[in-house]
Amino acid sequence: MDQVIHPRVANMAVPEIHPEMSGIKMIVSSSSPKAREHVRQGFSMVHAQWDFEAYRHFCAALQQDPDCILAYCGVALSLVDSHGESVSYRNAAVSRMIDLIEVDEKLLKEGKSGCFPRIERQFAFAVASLITSSPKTAAAMMKVMADSYPKTLQPKLFGAFLSRGSYDVLGNASKQRAKAVGIIRGLLEKHPANPLVLGFWLSLHAEAPIGIEFIKKEVLPEARKLVEMCPKVPSWHHMLGHYEWRAGNYHMAQRAFTQAAKLYESWMKRERISLNDCEEYVRAKCYLANTLYQRGDFDAAMKVAKDLRAMKLDPTRPASEGNQILLWRAYTLPARLYIARAAEGDLSSALKSLPDAKELSVFLSHPKFPTLAGSFTDALRFYIGCRKALNKADLIAAKSLHKVNYHGLVAKIASVLEGAKRSSEFGHYYRAAGALAVYDMELYGLIGMHQQKIMPVTTANHFRSARDKQITPSMMMPPLVVTHMENRLAELHSKLGSRKNASDAYLEALKHYPNNMDALRGLKACYLAMGEQKRASQIQAQIKRVSSENDQ
């Protein structure tokens, strides 16, 4: 058991039960009522994306019943993304789960009674396939289960979700995606008050390039309903904040992220859990800072960012999720906010805020878990250096920093892709690489804007490329690049003297990022320059609404 249950979890108190969030009706074969209760609660936590609390519940179940096969399934699911310090515990759970299945099947072949029902053995094999094979294989197994057990929700939801497909470059759903949406929508219509179904519906759309109207009509009401049903679950508040942010409801998003952070903080204090095991707290705070910036409150955003920057890394657990999000997100957040505003002195402040090699030395040179976050930080330094050179009208220095230093470092980061895939920080690495690709195209465009003779088509295409690379926030994380690149197109048109094209570009930006303060201020300036006083006044009223503390 000590290979499955981490010592720090084994020594904790029994985790709290939240009966209001359980939508799991699946039978759990165990002689222990407490084990059954913790397994169902653990699955609810997995679907709520509160993985560490889910892990605690499954471990509590195993302490009551060491042969509970669904508890081992739950451990595997709660640690499914582990590539670092928890991977051995996940693998041990999978191994024990398969051993129990094989013993059971041997008994059945001998004509004896097995210990586990067929549905549990099938579910366990599907979970094992998810980890050892692929989501596609696991999805196929879940679909077989869904056909065999039509009244059991989990296999139906897992089968649809794991085979959900994607979207093309134009934002059109693939056949698999449309089918998954149809299946889960149908289940939502049949079970409108089931937290499990609601959670899958929200997770299905979390990273999808769907329109604002769809979010407001089809998703936000369900996210708000789920928070009302489960007010003590911080991850659902975070999910709500994510959708409020995407809809441009920044005040509502601010409330949701603030509440999520408060609940996580209270949970950590009550259960004596460190930041290592609650990266969700940092995630909520990062999203809160971004939200404050989007509605124009830079000072409040920076205060949150600096509080995060002041948090200490734990050298004893270099691969913990809490350490990883601090290294990649929190420690670069003040710099990224300064970059976005870029007022006088901001770029110098951005440079000063970044961690240096000495501060990160333990993590950069760790023998088992060396971080790549230092390369991301160095790339940001070269990006800032290029921007500073442009501010001084030093095109030669800007081009050199961009093409030699910046590109050189980005190439170095890309060269370790295969190794990064097997590391505990791959998710952060992947999103950081995407952010650097956005910054790269932005630099091309900014350098083009500073040429003596601007090439409008080429420069605009660079900004469009940056815009196209700026994907929907993923894994409930705020975007690493705080600046919306569509606003850069408007700035280019303004510099070329085309206020009409600039205003059109800002309006287009507001379709994707409603109420973004930078776009609203730019649009107002365009209308004033065009003599459109009435429209400028309307935008000013909107600016006041977005920035007002009393706005609902």
- Which tokens sit at 405? 């230093």
Alpha-carbon dihedral 223, 228, 233, 234, rounded to 10 degrees: 60
Q: Which residue, chain included where needed, has tokens 């894994």?
A: 475
Question: Per-residue pLDDT tens for 419-464?
Answer: 888 888 999 999 999 999 999 999 999 999 999 999 999 999 999 9
pLDDT at 379: 97
* Average pLDDT value over all residues in the chain: 94
Residue at 289 is within a domain: no
Tell me the torsion sign for CA atoms 183, 185, 188, 189.
negative
What average pLDDT does the segment 493-507 reach? 96
Amino acid at 311: M
CB 35 within 8 A of CB 57: no
Eight-state DSSP code of residue 116 = S
- Does residue 550 surpass a pLDDT of 60? no
pLDDT at 82: 65
Which of 72, 99, 132 lies at the terminal end of a domain, its last residue?
A: 132
- Does residue 472 surpass a pLDDT of 80? no
Question: Per-residue pLDDT tens for 410-429?
Answer: 999 999 999 888 888 999 99
Q: Tell me how long the chain is.
A: 552
Domain of residue 507 covers 492-552
- Which tokens sit at 216? 């407001």
Q: How far apart are CA 305 and CA 478, in angstroms?
A: 13
pLDDT at 208: 85
Nearest to 442 by CA among 333, 336, 513, 294: 336
Nearest to 125 by CA among 151, 150, 99: 99
Which of 82, 98, 132 lies at the terminal end of a domain, its last residue?
A: 132
- Which tokens sit at 305? 């960012």
Q: Give φ, ψ of 106 to 5 degrees.
A: -65, -40
Question: Per-residue pLDDT tens for 130-183?
Answer: 999 999 999 999 999 999 999 899 999 999 999 998 887 777 889 999 999 999
What average pLDDT does the segment 393-411 reach? 96
Question: Per-residue pLDDT tens for 320-340?
Answer: 999 999 999 999 999 999 999
The CATH number for 536's domain is 1.25.40
Q: How confident is the model at residue 19 (pLDDT cuts 50, 70, 90)?
A: confident
pLDDT at 549: 56
Residue at 266 is within a domain: no
The gap from C-alpha 298 to its chain's centroid, in whole angstroms, comes to: 22
Which of 132, 167, 188 lies at the terminal end of a domain, its last residue?
A: 132
End-to-end CA distance of the chain: 51
Residue at 551 is within a domain: yes
**High-pLDDT (> 90) share of the chain, %:** 88
CB 79 within 8 A of CB 106: no
Question: Per-residue pLDDT tens for 161-172?
Answer: 999 988 877 778
Amino acid at 477: M
Angle at alpha carbon of residue 536, lines to 531 and 540, rounded to 5°: 155
Among 1-15, 468-482, 486-500, 519-533, the minimum mean pLDDT is found in 468-482
Q: How confident is the model at residue 298 (pLDDT cuts 50, 70, 90)?
A: very high
pLDDT at 536: 98
What average pLDDT does the segment 75-103 reach? 91
Q: Is 119 helix (H, G, I), strand (E, B) or coil?
A: helix
Alpha-carbon dihedral 16, 22, 24, 29, rounded to 10 degrees: 30
Q: How far apart are CA 539 and CA 543, in angstroms?
A: 6
Q: How far apart are CA 387 and CA 369, in angstroms?
A: 33
What average pLDDT does the segment 29-42 reach? 95
CB 162 within 8 A of CB 139: yes
Residue at 89 is within a domain: yes
By the 10 Å C-beta count (0-12 exposed, 13-18 middle, 19+ buried), 358 is classed as exposed
What average pLDDT does the segment 28-48 reach? 94
Residue at 292 is within a domain: no
Residue at 497 is within a domain: yes
pLDDT at 85: 85
Q: How confident is the model at residue 542 (pLDDT cuts 50, 70, 90)?
A: very high
CB 421 within 8 A of CB 387: no
Q: How far apart are CA 292 and CA 516, in angstroms?
A: 10
Bridge partner list, 167:
173
Q: Number of folded domains in the chain?
A: 2
Residue at 160 is within a domain: no
Q: How far apart are CA 411 and CA 433, in angstroms?
A: 10
- Which tokens sit at 43? 């699955």
Nearest to 447 by CA among 507, 395, 374, 486: 395
CB 371 within 8 A of CB 398: no
Q: How far apart are CA 4 and CA 6, in angstroms?
A: 6
Residue at 10 is within a domain: yes
- Does residue 260 surpass a pLDDT of 70? yes
Q: Give φ, ψ of 173 to 5 degrees.
A: -75, 140
Among 131-140, 166-175, 261-270, 367-376, the minimum mean pLDDT is found in 166-175
Q: Which residue, chain included where needed, has tokens 């800007």?
A: 398
